[in-house]
A = this chain, B = another copy of it.
Amino acid sequence: MKAKPRQHYEARAQIAKALAHPSRLLILDALSEKELCVCDLTELVGADQSTVSKHLTVLKSAGLVSGRKDGSMIYYRMQCPCLGGFFECMESVLKTNLKTQQQLVRAL
């Protein structure tokens, strides 16, 4: 591994941080199908509108979603098709973790 500057990892950590909240993962999951307005997402998440708006700001700052203005509403959409691969990776990690736990239980 060639040493990369701290800045390199800071930038990547920013993206990971944007993914590190259940509500934001839910939002991304919903947006992976079609674009939705803040009101749709607010209802979906079930939190205060301002809270959802701030989550969207985080996702947008990380470059994971983008907003399209239409009248008084703003439709958000996913910006990164590759995120699907990440979600699959998380699934496989969780599956592996589950197997590991089962083995531990069996060994009792």
Contact = CB atoms under 8 A, between A and B. Distances in A.
So how many copies of this chain end up in the complex? 2
B63 A96 contact: yes
Contacts of A53: none
A15 B82 CA distance: 17
Contact of A1 (B10, B32, B94): B32
Dominant SS among interface residues on chain A: helix
Interface string A18-36: 0111111110011011000
Given A83-B89, A88-B82, A96-B80, A12 B30 contact: no
Interface of A: 1, 4, 6, 9-13, 15-17, 19-26, 29-30, 32-33, 62-64, 79-80, 82-83, 85-90, 92-94, 96-97, 100
